[in-house]
Protein backbone atom coordinates (compact mmCIF):
# COMPACT_ATOMS: atom_id res chain seq x y z
CA UNK A 1 0.00 0.00 0.00
CA UNK A 2 1.31 3.44 -0.94
CA UNK A 3 1.87 5.91 1.86
CA UNK A 4 3.35 9.44 1.84
CA UNK A 5 6.26 8.14 3.90
CA UNK A 6 7.04 5.40 1.38
CA UNK A 7 6.85 7.82 -1.56
CA UNK A 8 9.18 10.20 0.29
CA UNK A 9 11.71 7.42 0.97
CA UNK A 10 11.51 6.25 -2.65
CA UNK A 11 12.13 9.79 -3.88
CA UNK A 12 15.13 10.17 -1.57
CA UNK A 13 16.64 6.94 -2.88
CA UNK A 14 16.21 8.07 -6.49
CA UNK A 15 17.72 11.47 -5.77
CA UNK A 16 20.65 9.86 -3.97
CA UNK A 17 21.37 7.38 -6.74
CA UNK A 18 20.89 10.06 -9.38
CA UNK A 19 23.25 12.37 -7.53
CA UNK A 20 25.93 9.68 -7.39
CA UNK A 21 25.46 8.98 -11.10
CA UNK A 22 25.86 12.67 -11.88
CA UNK A 23 28.89 12.94 -9.60
CA UNK A 24 30.76 10.14 -11.38
CA UNK A 25 29.70 11.66 -14.75
CA UNK A 26 27.67 8.66 -15.83
CA UNK A 27 24.85 11.10 -16.69
CA UNK A 28 24.72 14.81 -17.37
CA UNK A 29 22.31 17.16 -15.59
CA UNK A 30 19.45 16.42 -17.95
CA UNK A 31 20.11 12.69 -17.55
CA UNK A 32 20.01 13.10 -13.78
CA UNK A 33 16.59 14.77 -13.92
CA UNK A 34 15.23 12.18 -16.36
CA UNK A 35 16.63 9.35 -14.24
CA UNK A 36 14.83 10.60 -11.15
CA UNK A 37 11.63 11.03 -13.20
CA UNK A 38 11.86 7.38 -14.30
CA UNK A 39 13.15 5.95 -11.04
CA UNK A 40 10.46 7.28 -8.71
CA UNK A 41 7.50 5.42 -10.28
CA UNK A 42 9.61 2.26 -10.56
CA UNK A 43 10.31 2.29 -6.81
CA UNK A 44 6.87 3.53 -5.79
CA UNK A 45 4.82 1.08 -7.88
CA UNK A 46 7.25 -1.80 -8.32
CA UNK A 47 9.22 -1.75 -5.10
CA UNK A 48 12.90 -1.76 -4.29
CA UNK A 49 13.56 -5.03 -6.13
CA UNK A 50 12.43 -3.32 -9.33
CA UNK A 51 14.75 -0.46 -8.46
CA UNK A 52 17.61 -2.90 -7.94
CA UNK A 53 17.16 -4.19 -11.49
CA UNK A 54 17.19 -0.59 -12.72
CA UNK A 55 20.43 0.04 -10.82
CA UNK A 56 21.93 -3.14 -12.24
CA UNK A 57 21.07 -1.99 -15.77
CA UNK A 58 22.65 1.37 -15.12
CA UNK A 59 25.85 -0.12 -13.66
CA UNK A 60 26.29 -2.60 -16.52
CA UNK A 61 25.55 0.05 -19.16
CA UNK A 62 28.00 2.50 -17.56
CA UNK A 63 30.75 -0.09 -17.23
CA UNK A 64 30.30 -1.20 -20.84
CA UNK A 65 30.39 2.41 -22.06
CA UNK A 66 33.52 3.26 -20.07
CA UNK A 67 35.27 -0.01 -20.97
CA UNK A 68 38.33 0.76 -23.15
CA UNK A 69 36.85 4.18 -23.76
CA UNK A 70 40.09 5.74 -24.95
CA UNK A 71 40.51 3.00 -27.53
CA UNK A 72 36.98 3.62 -28.80
CA UNK A 73 37.73 7.34 -28.91
CA UNK A 74 40.74 6.79 -31.16
CA UNK A 75 38.55 4.76 -33.53
CA UNK A 76 35.88 7.46 -33.49
CA UNK A 77 33.20 5.09 -32.17
CA UNK A 78 32.93 6.21 -28.54
CA UNK A 79 29.85 7.79 -26.97
CA UNK A 80 30.02 11.57 -26.81
CA UNK A 81 30.55 13.55 -23.60
CA UNK A 82 32.81 10.80 -22.24
CA UNK A 83 29.87 8.45 -22.00
CA UNK A 84 27.68 10.69 -19.81
CA UNK A 85 24.11 9.93 -20.86
CA UNK A 86 21.62 12.72 -21.50
CA UNK A 87 17.89 12.73 -20.93
CA UNK A 88 17.19 11.31 -24.41
CA UNK A 89 19.31 8.26 -23.63
CA UNK A 90 17.74 7.81 -20.21
CA UNK A 91 14.17 8.17 -21.45
CA UNK A 92 14.78 6.00 -24.49
CA UNK A 93 16.07 3.15 -22.33
CA UNK A 94 13.97 3.48 -19.18
CA UNK A 95 10.61 5.10 -19.87
CA UNK A 96 8.87 1.90 -21.01
CA UNK A 97 10.16 0.03 -17.95
CA UNK A 98 8.63 2.75 -15.80
CA UNK A 99 5.25 2.24 -17.49
CA UNK A 100 5.43 -1.50 -16.87
CA UNK A 101 6.19 -0.86 -13.19
CA UNK A 102 3.05 1.27 -12.94
CA UNK A 103 1.00 -1.42 -14.71
CA UNK A 104 2.42 -4.01 -12.31
CA UNK A 105 0.72 -2.12 -9.49
CA UNK A 106 -2.57 -1.09 -11.14
CA UNK A 107 -3.03 -3.99 -13.62
CA UNK A 108 -4.42 -6.57 -11.19
CA UNK A 109 -6.86 -4.03 -9.73
CA UNK A 110 -8.13 -2.23 -12.83
CA UNK A 111 -7.61 -4.83 -15.57
CA UNK A 112 -7.94 -8.05 -13.56
CA UNK A 113 -4.64 -9.33 -14.95
CA UNK A 114 -1.87 -11.28 -13.25
CA UNK A 115 0.81 -8.86 -12.05
CA UNK A 116 3.51 -11.24 -13.34
CA UNK A 117 2.55 -10.28 -16.89
CA UNK A 118 3.77 -6.76 -16.18
CA UNK A 119 6.73 -7.94 -14.11
CA UNK A 120 8.02 -9.85 -17.14
CA UNK A 121 7.25 -6.83 -19.32
CA UNK A 122 9.40 -4.74 -17.00
CA UNK A 123 12.22 -7.29 -17.02
CA UNK A 124 12.04 -7.80 -20.78
CA UNK A 125 12.19 -4.05 -21.35
CA UNK A 126 15.21 -3.47 -19.12
CA UNK A 127 16.94 -6.65 -20.33
CA UNK A 128 16.60 -5.25 -23.86
CA UNK A 129 18.10 -1.91 -22.84
CA UNK A 130 20.95 -3.55 -20.93
CA UNK A 131 21.75 -6.14 -23.60
CA UNK A 132 21.62 -3.56 -26.40
CA UNK A 133 23.92 -1.12 -24.61
CA UNK A 134 26.42 -3.73 -23.43
CA UNK A 135 26.37 -5.63 -26.71
CA UNK A 136 26.84 -2.47 -28.74
CA UNK A 137 29.72 -1.18 -26.64
CA UNK A 138 31.52 -4.52 -26.48
CA UNK A 139 30.76 -5.40 -30.09
CA UNK A 140 32.49 -2.20 -31.24
CA UNK A 141 35.74 -3.67 -29.96
CA UNK A 142 35.45 -6.79 -32.11
CA UNK A 143 38.41 -7.53 -34.38
CA UNK A 144 36.02 -8.40 -37.21
CA UNK A 145 33.91 -5.86 -39.09
CA UNK A 146 30.21 -5.76 -38.22
CA UNK A 147 27.56 -6.93 -40.64
CA UNK A 148 24.25 -5.23 -41.25
CA UNK A 149 21.58 -7.29 -39.50
CA UNK A 150 19.13 -6.99 -42.41
CA UNK A 151 21.33 -8.30 -45.25
CA UNK A 152 24.62 -9.35 -43.58
CA UNK A 153 26.69 -6.97 -45.71
CA UNK A 154 29.93 -5.78 -44.09
CA UNK A 155 29.64 -2.21 -42.72
CA UNK A 156 31.90 0.14 -40.81
CA UNK A 157 32.17 -0.20 -37.04
CA UNK A 158 29.56 1.93 -35.33
CA UNK A 159 27.11 1.81 -38.24
CA UNK A 160 23.44 1.70 -37.27
CA UNK A 161 22.20 -1.87 -37.46
CA UNK A 162 25.67 -3.39 -37.61
CA UNK A 163 26.20 -6.50 -35.47
CA UNK A 164 29.16 -8.71 -34.61
CA UNK A 165 29.39 -12.19 -33.15
CA UNK A 166 31.09 -10.74 -30.06
CA UNK A 167 28.28 -8.24 -29.59
CA UNK A 168 25.59 -10.88 -30.08
CA UNK A 169 27.18 -13.15 -27.47
CA UNK A 170 27.40 -10.22 -25.05
CA UNK A 171 23.73 -9.37 -25.64
CA UNK A 172 22.65 -12.95 -25.01
CA UNK A 173 24.68 -13.31 -21.82
CA UNK A 174 23.63 -9.94 -20.40
CA UNK A 175 19.92 -10.53 -21.16
CA UNK A 176 19.99 -13.86 -19.32
CA UNK A 177 22.01 -12.28 -16.51
CA UNK A 178 19.17 -9.81 -15.89
CA UNK A 179 16.78 -12.75 -15.62
CA UNK A 180 19.10 -14.58 -13.24
CA UNK A 181 19.48 -11.52 -11.01
CA UNK A 182 15.69 -11.12 -10.90
CA UNK A 183 15.32 -14.77 -9.92
CA UNK A 184 18.11 -14.53 -7.33
CA UNK A 185 16.43 -11.63 -5.52
CA UNK A 186 13.09 -13.44 -5.41
CA UNK A 187 11.09 -11.70 -8.13
CA UNK A 188 9.69 -14.97 -9.47
CA UNK A 189 10.30 -18.60 -10.36
CA UNK A 190 13.10 -19.98 -12.49
CA UNK A 191 11.03 -19.44 -15.65
CA UNK A 192 11.73 -15.70 -15.46
CA UNK A 193 15.38 -16.39 -16.33
CA UNK A 194 14.43 -17.97 -19.64
CA UNK A 195 11.67 -15.48 -20.48
CA UNK A 196 13.74 -12.42 -19.60
CA UNK A 197 16.75 -13.75 -21.49
CA UNK A 198 14.80 -14.48 -24.67
CA UNK A 199 12.84 -11.21 -24.55
CA UNK A 200 15.94 -9.14 -23.87
CA UNK A 201 18.02 -10.76 -26.60
CA UNK A 202 15.27 -10.50 -29.22
CA UNK A 203 14.48 -6.94 -28.14
CA UNK A 204 18.13 -5.97 -28.58
CA UNK A 205 18.03 -7.37 -32.10
CA UNK A 206 14.85 -5.41 -32.81
CA UNK A 207 16.96 -2.36 -31.90
CA UNK A 208 19.50 -3.35 -34.56
CA UNK A 209 16.78 -3.94 -37.18
CA UNK A 210 15.17 -0.56 -36.50
CA UNK A 211 18.61 1.05 -36.54
CA UNK A 212 19.34 -0.47 -39.94
CA UNK A 213 16.01 0.66 -41.38
CA UNK A 214 14.01 3.53 -39.86
CA UNK A 215 16.99 5.24 -38.22
CA UNK A 216 18.93 5.10 -41.48
CA UNK A 217 16.05 6.10 -43.72
CA UNK A 218 14.67 9.11 -41.83
CA UNK A 219 16.68 12.08 -40.54
CA UNK A 220 14.20 12.84 -37.73
CA UNK A 221 14.44 9.28 -36.42
CA UNK A 222 17.14 9.19 -33.73
CA UNK A 223 18.72 6.57 -31.53
CA UNK A 224 16.33 7.43 -28.70
CA UNK A 225 13.40 6.49 -30.95
CA UNK A 226 15.13 3.23 -31.80
CA UNK A 227 15.74 2.46 -28.13
CA UNK A 228 12.12 3.19 -27.26
CA UNK A 229 10.78 0.84 -29.94
CA UNK A 230 13.21 -1.88 -28.89
CA UNK A 231 12.28 -1.63 -25.20
CA UNK A 232 8.59 -1.77 -26.13
CA UNK A 233 9.32 -4.91 -28.16
CA UNK A 234 11.31 -6.50 -25.32
CA UNK A 235 8.62 -5.66 -22.79
CA UNK A 236 5.76 -6.95 -24.94
CA UNK A 237 7.72 -10.12 -25.72
CA UNK A 238 8.31 -10.69 -22.01
CA UNK A 239 4.60 -10.32 -21.31
CA UNK A 240 3.55 -12.55 -24.23
CA UNK A 241 6.02 -15.29 -23.33
CA UNK A 242 4.38 -15.44 -19.90
CA UNK A 243 1.42 -17.17 -21.57
CA UNK A 244 3.61 -19.85 -23.13
Condensed to tens digits (0 to 9), the pLDDT of residues 5-27 reads 999 999 999 999 999 999 998 99
**What is the count of structural domains for the chain?**
1
SS3 (DSSP) at 147? strand
Domain, as residue range, for 222: 4-242
pLDDT at 79: 75
Instruction: Read off φ and ψ for residue 147, nearest 5 degrees.
Output: -120, 140
For 42-73, the pLDDT digits (tens) are 999 999 999 999 999 999 999 998 888 888 88
Residues 6+ apart with CB under 8 A from 155: 145, 146, 147, 148, 161, 162
Residue 1 has pLDDT above 70, yes or no: no
Of 21-25, 30-34, 37-41, 197-201, the range with the lowest mean pLDDT is 21-25
| pLDDT tier at 189, thresholds 50, 70, 90 | very high
Average pLDDT over residues 216-234: 93
- Counting DSSP H helices and E strands in the chain, the numbers are 10, 2
Q: Tell me the whole-structure pTM to 2 decimals.
A: 0.95
- Report the alpha-carbon distance of residue 14 to residue 40 in Å, rounded: 6
Amino acid sequence: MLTPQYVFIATCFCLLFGGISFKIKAVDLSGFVAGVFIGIPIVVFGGFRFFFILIFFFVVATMATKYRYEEKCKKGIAEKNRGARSYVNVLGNGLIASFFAILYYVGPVYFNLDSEIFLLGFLGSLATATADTAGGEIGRLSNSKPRLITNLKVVETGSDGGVTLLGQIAELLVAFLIGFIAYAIGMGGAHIILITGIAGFLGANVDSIVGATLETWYDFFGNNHTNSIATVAGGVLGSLLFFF
